Amino acid sequence: MTEEFTPLPAVVRDVYDVVVARNPHEPEFQQAVHEVLDSIVPVLEAHPEFVANGIVERIVEPERQIIFRVPWTDDAGGIHVNRGFRVQFSSVLGPYKGGLRFHPSVNLSIIKFLGFEQIFKNALTGQGIGGAKGGSDFDPRGRSDAEIMRFCQSFMNELYRHLGEHTDVPAGDIGVGAREIGYLFGQYRKVTNRHESGMFTGKGVQWGGAEVRTEATGYGAVFFAEEMLAVHSETFEGKRVAVSGSGNVAIYAIDKAYQLGAVPVTASDSSGYVVDDAGIDLDLLRRIKEVERGRISEYVLARPDARFVEGARPWEVPVDVAIPSATQNELDESDAQALIANGVRAVAEGANMPSTPGAVAAFQKAGVLFGPGKAANAGGVATSALEMSQNAARQRWSFSDSEAKLRAIMQRVHDSAYAAAERYDRPGDYVVGANAAGFERVAHAMLAQGVI
Ligand code: GLU
């Protein structure tokens, strides 16, 4: 982070100073807290009881943080040690809920920023889920299936004791998909002797998983953008869309954008991006990333009219809608300026906190419709909560019913963020709207449940 944060109003400044002093080496966590505190100032002014009851002081401190050793053996017999994390941030609205991320960049700051955001995202969905996040600095790239399995088993050998359908329900995130969830769930079942469907979401649809969970985050981000456009009587029809990333979120954002008549033209990974003016070939992208687990540069071998741009991000490509779906801080102020100069109309964050504070400010100043991840990518976790409902009732809903439910949830998330922004005199500001609406729900529950 090179951008400076704007100074905070007095009502939240002391809390923020404590967060910085207590978590000095955690820039991403500080960034996420700063954004929320900045947004909720009008809520605190309207609700002095939140201030008097120390709601903000309490919400910025996780209820519990677990850090553990994850030793595992590679195929050649070499021993590795990774660090595992689970930050259980808030269970005031329901069991802790949030994904696991396996990526070499993972550290406590990253997991805490994600866990903190998750509280408000989950609150916005209107469902009964608390906020948490976990993961490891393990790098799955280049590892065999057997190595992945042994790592997942070792990870769960510690984490199982902190989980449970009424306690903490993980899911996937970057580097944790169907394969990893299978191994993690299998080990939980083995060590606890319980087939407890509701203790993990994102499971395979043959063994307790929910239809649409795989598609939900990407679909949801597009649904959210569709709602923002609809306020201005616009649709996706004929719009060019830039998507970053090539994982689960990106793939299904591209899929849904096509279904709504748009032309998604980019995808990326950490090596660079591809731009295909004819529209991304989704089958090809899926084969490269999901089946072969290869690099995005391979895309142009099969599509000679497409271009691979090494070491860059897709924000220089002229588009009407951008859906950053890779990772945190992947779109900075200069990227935002490039998008704005090219006439971007809407940005919906498929990833968590992909836009830097400078980028967000630039979009808002330019009047670009901006849907923050907390709201725009809430479809994934919302569908996880639908999975929990189905598990509890031992039911299985159809794809079309589940997608209709997701669509309705995204509409609600949009409308509650939109309405909160209006209520607090910041019309069209979905950052304030999402943070305020999520925070209000959490704060009321904390108030009701006492100082714990
Ligand atoms: N990792 C996803 C997120 O960032 C999904 C979490 C879940 O389904 O629990 O919201």
pLDDT digits (tens, 9 = 90+) for 330-378: 999 999 999 999 999 999 999 999 999 999 999 999 999 999 999 999 9
Minimum-distance ligand 1 atom for the alpha carbon of 352 = 4
CA distance 236 to 243: 14
CA–centroid distance, residue 377 to ligand 1 (Å): 9
Q: Which of 103, 214, 328, 381 to mutate to test the pocket of ligand 1 (most atoms within 8 A of CB)?
A: 381
pTM: 0.97
Using CA atoms, how far apart are residues 367 and 349, in angstroms rounded to an integer? 16
Q: Give rounded-to-5 percent helix, strand, coil for the chain.
A: 50, 15, 35
For residue 144, how far is its CA from the centre of ligand 1 (angstroms)?
A: 25
Supply the pLDDT for residue 6. Answer: 86
**Cα 378 to ligand 1 centroid, rounded to whole Å:** 8
CATH of domain 64-207: 3.40.50.10860
d(CA 35, CA 357): 8
State the average pLDDT for the chain.
97
Nearest CA owner, ligand 1 atom 9: 98
Does the pLDDT value for residue 409 go beyond 80? yes
Q: Could you give the CA distance from residue 28 to residue 109 in angstroms, rounded to a whole number? A: 6
CA distance 219 to 235: 15
CA 315 to chain centre: 20
Look at residue 68 and tell me whether its pLDDT is greater than 80: yes
Distance (Å, rounded) from C-alpha 414 to C-alpha 350?
Answer: 14
Cα 132 to ligand 1 centre (Å): 9
Tens-place pLDDT, residues 100-146: 999 999 999 999 999 999 999 999 999 999 999 999 999 999 999 99
Rounded distance from Cα 202 to ligand 1 centre (Å): 9
Mutate to test the pocket of ligand 1, among 90, 106, 328, 384 (most ligand atoms within 8 A of CB): 384
Ligand 1, residue 173: give the atom nearest the CA.
Answer: 1
**Cα–Cα distance, 353 to 3 (Å, whole number):** 14
Domain ranges of the chain: 10-59, 64-207, 216-376
- Nearest-10 Cα torsion for 275, 278, 280, 284: -110
First and final C-alpha spacing in the chain: 34
* Fold: same for 64-207 and 216-376: yes
Q: What average pLDDT does this structure show over 423-446?
A: 98
* pLDDT higher than threshold 60 for residue 1: no
* Nearest CA owner, ligand 1 atom 8: 381
Whole-angstrom Cα Rg for the chain: 21
Which of 100, 124, 217 has most ligand 1 atoms within 8 Å of its beta carbon, as the pocket-test mutant? 217
Task: Name every protein residue with a CB atom under 6 angstroms from any ligand 1 atom.
Answer: 97-99, 171, 173, 201, 352, 380-381, 384
What single-letter amino acid sits at 139?
D
pLDDT value for 350 = 98
399: left (phi over 0), alpha (psi -120 to 50) or beta: alpha
Which residue out of 173, 180, 203, 213 has the highest number of ligand 1 atoms within 8 Å of its CB and is therefore the one to mutate?
A: 173
Average pLDDT over residues 249-256: 98
> Within 10 A of 108 (CB to CB), how many other CB atoms are there?
17
Q: What is the mean pLDDT of residues 195-211?
A: 97
Which residue's CA is minimally distant from atom 5 of ligand 1? 381
121 neighbors 374 (Cβ within 8 angstroms) = yes
- Quick check: 383 pLDDT over 70? yes
Catalytic residues: 133
Contact 88, 96 (CB under 8 A): yes
Nearest to 289 by CA among 314, 321, 252: 252
Q: For residues 217 and 250, give the distance between their C-alpha atoms in angstroms, rounded to a whole number.
A: 9
Fold of 216-376: Rossmann fold (3.40.50)
Mean pLDDT, range 263-273, rounded to an integer:
97
**Nearest atom within ligand 1 for CA of residue 384:** 8
Handedness of CA 57, 58, 60, 62 (dihedral sign): positive
Statement: residue 4 has pLDDT above 80: no
Task: Render pLDDT for 5-20 as a digit per residue (tens, 0 to 9).
Answer: 889 999 999 999 999 9
Inform me whether the pLDDT recorded for 3 exceeds 70.
no
Distance 381 CA to ligand 1 centre (A): 5
Among candidates 300, 256, 260, which has minimal Cα distance to 277? 300
**Hunting for tokens 């100032």 — which residue is that?**
41
Ligand 1, atom nearest to 101 Cα: 1
The CB-side HSE value for 286 (13 A sphere, CA atoms) comes to 11
Averaged pLDDT, 379-387 = 98
Average pLDDT over residues 315-340: 98
pLDDT at 288 over 50: yes
Q: For residue 119, how far is its CA from the centre of ligand 1 (angstroms)?
A: 11
pLDDT at 2 over 60: no
